[in-house]
Amino acid sequence: MRLRSGVFASSCLLVEVLGVALFLRGFFPVPVRSLPRREARGDLPAEPAPPGPGMVSNWTKIPPPLFKKVVIVLIDALRDDFVFGSKGEQFMPYTKQVIEKGTSYSFIAEAKPPTVTMPRIKALMTGSIPGFIDVIVNLNSPALLDDNLIWQAKTAGKRIIFYGDDTWVKLFPKHFVEYDGTTSFFVSDFTEVDDNVTRHLDRVLKREDWDLLILHYLGLDHIGHVTGPNSPLVGAKLREMDNILKKIHISLLSKEEASFPNLLVVCGDHGMSETGSHGGSSAGEVHTPLLFISSAFEKRSGPLTYPELVQQTDLASTLAVGLGLPISRNSVGNLILPVVGGRTMREQLRFVHLNGFQLSRLLQENTPAYEKDPGYEHFKIAEKSHANWIKLYLEGNNSEILLNLGKKVLKQYLEALKTLSSSLSKQVAQYDMYSMMVGTVIILEL
């Protein structure tokens, strides 16, 4: 009798485990994935072949870098209204002046839930959308094996320096020529955690032995957790960050070559709710500022408009183009066109074609009926128009026709990129409702 009871209990436990497994299978959808990163640097397309005999484009390589040095300042839990709202006006005067009158482009970057640090760093550097499973591994971040901007930069010989949240050191081991990680778990520390980053600045900004500098400041996030977004401490911390951005910007401008400018990127990984927490999907948690500051851009003029909404995943594609690197294979992001808007029409078309090729290839590898996808169809139409533009260009046509056709092709590509990105992003968020329902029934019935 005791044996039968044991067998029955074991059977119930196994069925319960099966129910939980089925539910988890549905709740954590299979991510969009491409080839392993060791194969990610080859197989780049040339420009679309122009129609007609004897005409061949000679542009088959990755375009060269647009920026000499790039500095990324990631301010943890930086909400969009901390920069673009009244707090920005009051506590970040230098940054606000650069946004309104300087050579910069401003955006609001939308982060997808879960709005916690490790998945957001993944999104920023791979261009992919991490899932809720990443919340579990957020506390003990393993090395990131997916194709990503940091790996591409290191493989291309870029020298990368990092100071700040040690999550980066865990995600990208052996990628930095120099680093100093700080832990994020002492949330009552508002000061030292940032001072340990800033103390390196004077020295590193004078040096020429780096190409990419990444700074991740944690103090604002800690203040939010302990005292909330309306605490007086928030204003003091924003003022501190404004002074740091001023120092970096002035230093980059002072050491710049006219033909090869530098770039300063300011962003947040996520925002914070009205209670100072994060992880969910409220507007305060998902909307973060994204600033590109460089002398390569035209000085702003005319009335100031509210920043356009982009996706956080768009940063990886945009920085890849800016650094002259391949776009990460698993990226679902779009190139933020204004950042390259000062380049020639041929260069701009080359950039969006590379982005479209990467997205369409990712779609092919994850969708059996990819040819029927509207984004893929739009991309193929844009490619044909691009080929006609190249034909006119190689024939030496410099008329208004060439310019107008170029603008039309650019618009076609941007529409294709938007649709392709949307199709791929939907796949990531597609839950297997059948598995979840069956799993739930099994769990509740026992």
For the stretch 36-70, pLDDT in tens is 555 544 578 889 989 888 777 878 888 999 999 99
SS3 361: helix
Confidence of residue 1 (pLDDT cuts 50, 70, 90): low
Average pLDDT over residues 165-193: 92
The 10s digit of each residue's pLDDT in 123-133 is 999 999 986 55
> Per residue in 206-224, pLDDT tens?
999 999 999 999 999 999 9
Highest mean pLDDT among 44-58, 154-168, 176-190: 154-168
pLDDT band for 247, please (50, 70, 90 cuts). very high
pLDDT at 442: 61
At 188 the pLDDT is 82
Specify the higher pLDDT residue, 32 or 276.
276
Name the average pLDDT for the chain: 88
- Between 66-70, 83-87, 185-189, 284-288, the lowest mean confidence (pLDDT) is in 185-189
The rounded radius of gyration (Å) of the Cα atoms in the chain is 24
Could you say which DSSP state residue 37 is in?
G
- Over range 325-344, report the average pLDDT: 96
pTM: 0.89
Peptide bond into 114 cis (omega under 30): yes
Please report which confidence band the pLDDT of residue 161 belongs to, taking 50, 70 and 90 as the band edges. very high
Instruction: Select from 27, 63, 30 the least CA-distant residue to 44.
Output: 63
pLDDT of residue 70: 98
Query: What integer is the mean pLDDT of 97-102?
Result: 93
Residue 397's pLDDT is what?
87
**Strand order through the sheet with 70-75:** 178-182, 160-165, 212-217, 70-75, 263-267, 287-293, 104-110, 308-311
- Distances 235 to 80, 90, 103, 398 between C-alpha atoms, Å: 14, 8, 25, 53
- What's the token pair of residue 248? 């970096």
Across residues 382-403, what is the average pLDDT?
A: 92
pLDDT confidence of residue 140: 54
pLDDT in tens, 292-308: 999 999 988 777 888 99
pLDDT tens-place string over residues 15-38: 666 655 554 444 455 555 545 555
pLDDT the model gives residue 27: 46
